[in-house]
Amino acid sequence: MGEKEEEEGQEPKLKQQKVVSNNIIVQFVSPEGEPTGPQLDVPTNVTAQQCQTLLQGLLREDEPRPYSFYIDDQELGGALVDHLKKHKLSVESLLKIVYQPQAVFRVRPVTRCSASIPGHDAAILCVNFSPNGKHLCTGSGDTTVRFWHLGTQTPHHTCRGHKSWVLSVVWSPDAAMVASGDRNGAIWLWDPTKGTAIGQCKGHRKFISSISWEPAHEALPSRRFCSGSKDGTVKVWDAGTRRLLYSLGSHTAGVTAVIWGGEGLIYSAARDCTINVWRSSDGSMVRTLRGHGHWVNTMSLSTSYALKTGAFNHKGERQGSDEDAQKEAQKRYLEAKGGQTSPERLVTGSDDFTLCLWEPGRSKQPISRMVGHQQLVNQVCFSPDGRWILSASFDKSVKLWDGVKGKFVATFRGHVGPVYQVAWSADSRLAVSGSKDSTLKLWDMRTRKAAVDLPGHADEVFTVDWSPTGDAVASGGRDKVLKLWKQ
End-to-end, the C-alpha distance of the chain in Å comes to 58
User: Among positive and negative, which fits the CA dihedral 236, 239, 244, 246?
Assistant: negative
User: What DSSP letter does each residue of 378-444 carry, written as one string?
Assistant: EEEEE-TTSSEEEEEETTSEEEEEETTT--EEEEEE--SS-EEEEEE-TTSSEEEEEETTS-EEEEE
Taking Cα atoms as reference points, which of 229, 178, 169 lies closest to residue 202?
229
Q: How far apart are CA 164 and CA 189, in angstroms?
A: 16
> Across the chain, which distance is largest between two alpha carbons, in Å?
96
Whether the CB-CB separation of 287 and 196 falls below 8 Å is answered with no
Whether the CB-CB separation of 416 and 373 falls below 8 Å is answered with no
Within 10 Å of residue 456's Cβ, how many Cβ atoms?
16
φ, ψ for residue 421 (rounded to 5)? -145, 155
pLDDT, tens digit only, all 487 positions of the chain: 444 444 444 444 433 433 444 788 999 988 778 889 899 998 888 888 888 888 888 888 777 778 888 888 788 888 888 888 888 888 888 899 988 888 777 888 899 999 999 989 999 999 999 999 999 999 999 999 999 988 888 889 999 999 999 999 999 999 999 999 999 999 999 999 999 999 999 999 999 999 999 999 999 888 999 999 999 999 999 999 999 999 998 999 999 999 999 999 999 999 999 999 999 999 999 999 999 999 999 999 999 999 999 999 888 888 778 899 999 999 999 988 877 778 999 999 999 999 999 999 889 999 999 999 999 999 999 999 998 999 999 999 999 999 989 999 999 999 999 999 999 999 999 999 999 999 999 999 988 999 999 999 999 999 999 999 999 999 999 999 999 999 8
Burial of residue 256, with CB atoms counted within 10 A of its CB: 0-12 exposed, 13-18 middle, 19 or more buried: buried
Q: How far apart are CA 12 and CA 439, in angstroms?
A: 49
Whether the CB-CB separation of 433 and 440 falls below 8 Å is answered with yes
Q: How far apart are CA 404 and CA 330, in angstroms?
A: 22
